[in-house]
Structure 1
Amino acid sequence: MSRPVRIGVQLHPQHAPKYGLIRDAVRRAEDMGVDVVFNWDHFYPLYGDPEGAHFECWTMLGAIAEQTERVELGALVTGGGYRNPDLLADMARTVDHISDGRLILGIGAGWFEKDYQQYGYEFGTAGSRLALLKESMARIADRLAKLNPQPVRDIPILIGGGGEKKTLRLVAEYADIWHSFADPDALHRKSGILAEHCAAVGTDPAAIEKSVEWPGADKAAEFLPLGATLFTVGVGGPDYDLGPVEEAIRWRDSVNPESVAGIS
């Protein structure tokens, strides 16, 4: 492996009627030794009661940045059509400073139609949303270069999705991390396509970290030969049971035998 295995936790910001439940889950996750704390960027629950409790993504990231000391943090992923991209770049720069350089800027094209309809955004088509994401990535990069003060570090860009013609091209052009929802066979095939896009734009595919959802300790090793090193466990409210995260951390430490828990 070219880089150590890392474990993320995605705390779904839904069905938690008080923010304190999420704050406590963040504390427990960092104390447990996770490498990254993610949330997601939606306005309504994705499962359970569709009108259940839900909190907004980026204000929460500011709070997580202030609360934590070690973990990286970000959205898995920001809806590309929900915010002016120049504003999003400024928000990311600000959260990066609050966290002293621990932000990951995760972004995707968006897909949850209810978010768009209820908040007055144009849903369009998959093609139009990807076109908007392409435009947004260029504007985000341009705005980040102009901001004063500059980000603490070159903020890593995570792009989520697996579209072979357009999304993977954007990954090749802009991403430091690629989050795929693919199984091992599909990840192998899509990695080859990503490598072709990287060759076309002059990017080293080995420089792009591969991120996947946690498949369980019995299956995670199947992803290692494919280059996946960031595994994220999804956890829902209101209880935020981190038992599966403990399993993932034990597995991480078994394949990173020289690592200190939580520090890659």
Structure 2
Amino acid sequence: MPRTPPPRFGIMTAPSQVEYQDVLRVWREADAIPEIEHAWLFDHLMPIGGDPDGPVHEGWTLLSALAAQTRRLRLGVLVTSNRFRPPAMLAKIAATVDIVSGGRLEFGIGVGSRPDIALARREYDAHGLPFHDTAHAVGSLAEACTVIRRLWTEDEPFDFDGAHHRLTGAFCNPKPVQRPHPPIVIGGRSSATLRIAAEHADVWNIPGGDIDDVVRRGALLDRYCAEIGRDPGSITRSIHLPVSYDEPGATRAAIGEAIDAGFRHVVLGLPAPYPDGVAQWVVDKLISASA
């Protein structure tokens, strides 16, 4: 019987209401601690919490800078909004980050912000971006995953004529360092997104909270995999859990529930401001205590 792999722990530093040097300090510290294997940013153009006029750093630009300043951490955006960037442009950006990092990118992507989150919705109008309905956004994501994978793996230019994306002579050079391509992390919990994950994801990520709902979502992903003849075990299960500095016991309990439910990729969301030595605190209070 195959041995169950141990959980891989990472951190998430939302680049909102913080300065670049704050995030860089935490990532450099984490890069030197083997127990922390991966690190993540988010993808919003304006704050979705705290001061609505506060600072937010663009996720992929910041990720490239952090890739150049670290040596070991796997890294990514959890998750990229497919609504913000055309897929061929995103494929080029991601390939560049994989090269800068020496092949450490984990490529996170999702549908994008839900229309019922007002603070997230406003960033589209503020940046002149269209905000299509959910059906359009889901169809666009499915096509984007196909286009991006082809750009990373095909050696000849190609045309693509989809319902949402049309490309002529599409080609990506240079390719990502990782072969055949960086792991694709699809984030979300809706049934439509889970169908896309079943087809395209190497890793599926879901926000934590109601563990029973998370388990039900995982079972639905299993079903969609079975429908297309894919082994559900080929998709790593990932969960994002918020960290409480004041009540680490509650965070440890959530970690234990997630591991018991089969999640082997755990992203610990660090609230700002970040205490000095926060990466080592995560190891001492959360990771080691959950082993």
* Structures share fold, TM-score greater than 0.5: yes
Partner of 1:121: 129
2:258 pairs with one of 213, 216, 223:
223
Task: Answer 1 or 2: higher relative contact order, Cα 8 Å, separation at least 6.
Answer: 1
Q: CA deviation at 1:80?
A: 0.5
Partner of 2:221: 194
1:151 pairs with one of 170, 176, 180:
176
Partner of 1:209: 236
Report SS of the residue matched to 2:122.
Answer: helix
**Partners of 2:229 and 2:17 in 1: CA distance:** 44
**Partners of 1:83 and 1:161 in 2: CA distance:** 18
- Conserved in 1, the CA contact under 8 Å of 2:26 and 2:278? no
Q: Deviations over 1:156-179 (max 9, x none)?
A: 011110112x11111111111111
Partner of 1:39: 41
Q: CA deviation at 1:10?
A: 1.0
- Conserved in 1, the CA contact under 8 Å of 2:39 and 2:76? yes
Q: Deviations over 1:217-263 (max 9, x none)?
A: 123211223210122122244x323777545434434555xxxxxxx
Could you tell me which amino acid in structure 2 is paired with residue 22 of structure 1? V
Partner of 1:109: 111
After the TM superposition, which residues 52-67 of structure 1 pair with which residues of structure 2 at under 5 Å, given as runs? 52-67=54-69
- Conserved in 2, the CA contact under 8 Å of 1:157 and 1:175? yes
Structure 2 stretches lacking a partner, 5+ long: 114-119, 155-171, 243-250
Cα distance change on mapping 1:64 and 1:190 into 2, 3 Å: same
- Conserved in 1, the CA contact under 8 Å of 2:29 and 2:277? no
Q: CA deviation at 1:70?
A: 0.5
Find out whether 1:167 has 2:193 as its counterpart. Answer: yes
Report SS of the residue matched to 2:62.
Answer: helix
**Partners of 2:221 and 2:280 in 1: CA distance:** 32
- Conserved in 2, the CA contact under 8 Å of 1:162 and 1:168? yes
Could you tell me which amino acid in structure 2 is paired with residue 173 of structure 1? E
**Partners of 2:22 and 2:278 in 1: CA distance:** 18
Report the RMSD for the aligned CA atoms in angstroms: 1.9
- Conserved in 2, the CA contact under 8 Å of 1:7 and 1:248? no
- Conserved in 1, the CA contact under 8 Å of 2:29 and 2:279? no
Partner of 1:176: 202
Could you tell me which amino acid in structure 2 is paired with residue 71 of structure 1? L
Partner of 2:149: 141
Partner of 1:249: 283
Q: CA deviation at 1:200?
A: 1.8
- Conserved in 2, the CA contact under 8 Å of 1:13 and 1:236? no
Find out whether 1:232 has 2:267 as its counterpart. Answer: yes
- Aligned identity (percent) is 33
Number of aligned positions between the proteins: 253
Report SS of the residue matched to 1:101.
Answer: coil
Partner of 1:81: 83
Report SS of the residue matched to 1:54.
Answer: coil
Q: CA deviation at 1:129?
A: 1.4
Structure-2-length-normalised TM-score: 0.81
- Conserved in 2, the CA contact under 8 Å of 1:41 and 1:57? yes
Could you tell me which amino acid in structure 2 is paired with residue 180 of structure 1? I
Deviates more, 1:189-198 or 1:148-157: 148-157
